[in-house]
Amino acid sequence: MFGDASVLLYVSKEVYNARKEANLSQKELADLVGTTQRIISNIENAEINIGFNLLLRIARALNLNLIFGGCNFSSHATKGAVGYKIMKKVAIKEL
């Protein structure tokens, strides 16, 4: 089971690695998901507790599988021409 700090660290690493694999800057990812570069930086540095809505938007932009409580919230819809091919599983067992 994850503690709060472990969840933040795990999510931060997954977001960072997926963003790097997609060759996106923090600003580019922020623009795709409707937030700021500062928020993406804070997420990647495990400095803020990310809300589910934003986590879902990030997962969809990076084509990540988001599984929460047995429900798979992934969307195979990509951002058109961006065409990410990243398929990783982000499983959060407990928040």
**pLDDT tens track for 18-75:** 999 999 999 999 999 999 999 999 999 999 988 889 999 999 999 888 877 777 776 5
Bridge partners (DSSP) of residue 90 are 66
4-92: CATH topology is: 434 Repressor (Amino-terminal Domain) (1.10.260)
Which ranges in 22-90 belong to alpha helices (H)?
26-33, 37-44, 52-61
Classify burial at 37, counting beta carbons within 10 Å of its beta carbon; exposed 0-12, middle 13-18, buried 19 or more.
middle
- Give the domain ranges of the chain: 4-92
pTM equals 0.72
- For the record, the structure tokens of 92 come out as 């959060």
